[in-house]
Amino acid sequence: MKINSRDIGDLAAFFQEAQTQGNHFLCYWSEADYFKKEDLQAFNSHYDAVEYCYENSTDRDTYDITRLSPVQEAVTHFRVALKDLGEKEPNVSFRFDISEIVQQHDFKLKFKTMETVQNDKNIAYLENQLLKTGFGDIPRAELISKIIEGKGSFELHLDKKYGEDQASAILYLNKSDKGNYFFNAYDLAVKKEGEELAFKQTFRINYGNTFTLKEAYNLMQGRSVNKDFIKVDQNNKENNKKYSAWATMDFKNIDEKGNCKVVKSSKLNLEQALAEYPIKELNNPQYKADLIDSLHRGNRQMVTYLKGTDEAKMYVEANPQHNALKFYDANMNKIGLSIKSKSPGEANDLNADQKVSDNDPTSGNTRTITQKEHRTDEQQPKQKEMPKRVRKVG
């Protein structure tokens, strides 16, 4: 890397402002031919600097982090040297090796070697990524020890229980040509109580298209997850497009590696669908927001259903394939409910004509509460229990 005399003034002003604001860390584009102001960013927090470097680094571009003061001192040195030259050579370039500048700094013992800084960046970035994807319970010491070993790839493991279901995840991390580790994918195996075989699926860690651990579990239970995805343009990241959609696992569409295809749909407007039913939580703005957020993440959520002056506890989940909602009683039997009465004077009764029909592989019994019966869930006659259909992958 070089530094040009024409850029010295802007660089000096940049460092002066950074120092005034109390910044101590400098992020720079290490692949650049010239050291320029537009390729720099200063931070007070080491964590913020680390996050900035990793958010802006790609296979072709790399951002590194260093202490600000040694580089500022070097820029000041070149500025003084240019003044001595006067106006005889207004456009000159000098060699500008940042790692060498840091190493030769008077207080070099206070600064970490570039290798240690790189490991610190990588650890901080991976910790943040694991936390955001639902793997924050993995011990930090385990992650650090794996990175220090320096192998080309390594695995991390996490076991978690959801109710009576046992979920086991294997995380795959690989080392890039530049020496940094990246979290690329994870396998999730879900084993239900009393069953010998586990249902397995591989989930990729892709920019803007990653499912968290809980979202992946919900998908494997036959539920749907709504989130913002990114359609990536490999040739021009400026053309990347963000879109919102429901993701659902297609248990009948399996690839050569044994993974079920995840299909997307934009049919269901959750807030509008919920408004069609007399659900008590919708009357409280905070409860409503929490309910919508939970259903978007693929959860089956308990709600309070209003039946005239009575209340009934039941569960609801999103069903975007049929542009509808699924309701369950306290025993997780599916039930059919009518939409909310349009006239304020009419009762919010249960509909005898609406039936529930779908291919949910994780569902149990299905029954419909009729308007004529108008009984509570506990009073409803039980239908003969049907065996659950669960797809198993060895």
The percentage of the chain sitting over the pLDDT mark of 90, rounded to a whole number, equals: 42
Long-range CB contacts for residues 376-385, cutoff 8 Å, separation at least 24: 376/310, 376/312, 377/312, 377/314, 377/329, 377/330, 377/331, 377/335, 380/329, 383/333
pLDDT at residue 343 greater than cutoff 80: no
Q: Which residue has tokens 């802006």?
A: 56
What is the model's pTM? Answer: 0.58
Helical (H) or strand (E) element with 307:
strand 301-307
Residue 3 and residue 25 in contact, taking contact as beta carbons nearer than 8 Å: no
- Greater confidence (151 vs 356) lies with 151
46-55, 160-169, 270-279: range with lowest mean pLDDT: 46-55
Separation of alpha carbons 140 and 119, rounded Å = 13
Q: Sheet holding 40-43: strands in order across?
A: 40-43, 25-29, 63-67
pLDDT tens sequence across 225-263? 999 998 888 788 778 888 999 999 999 999 988 999 999
Share of the chain above pLDDT 70, in %: 79
Question: Is the alpha carbon torsion for 123, 127, 129, 130 positive or negative?
Answer: positive
- State the burial class of residue 269 (Cβ atoms within 10 Å of its Cβ: 0-12, 13-18, 19+): exposed
Residue range 94-109: mean pLDDT, rounded: 69
pLDDT at 162 over 50: yes
pLDDT at residue 119 tops 70: yes
CA-wise closest residue to 313 among 323, 325, 301: 301
Write out the DSSP string of 207-257.
TT----HHHHHHHHTT--EEEEEEE--SS-GGG-EEEEEEEEEEEEEE-TT
Note the pLDDT of residue 342.
37
| Amino acid of residue 270 | L
| H or E element in which residue 51 lies | helix 46-56
Average pLDDT, stretch 111-132? Answer: 75
The answer to whether residues 264 and 243 touch, using CB atoms and an 8 Å cutoff, is no
Check pLDDT > 70 for residue 327: yes
Token duo for residue 119: 């490991």
- Please compute the mean of the pLDDT values over residues 145-163 and round it to a whole number: 90
Task: Write the DSSP symbol of residue 279.
Answer: B
Burial grade of 95 (CB within 10 A; 0-12, 13-18, 19 or more): exposed
Q: Is the pLDDT of residue 57 over 60?
A: yes
Q: What is the pLDDT of residues 272-302, one digit of tens each?
A: 999 999 999 999 999 999 999 999 999 999 9
In tens, the pLDDT along 363-386 reads 443 333 333 333 333 333 444 343
SS3 for 73? Answer: helix
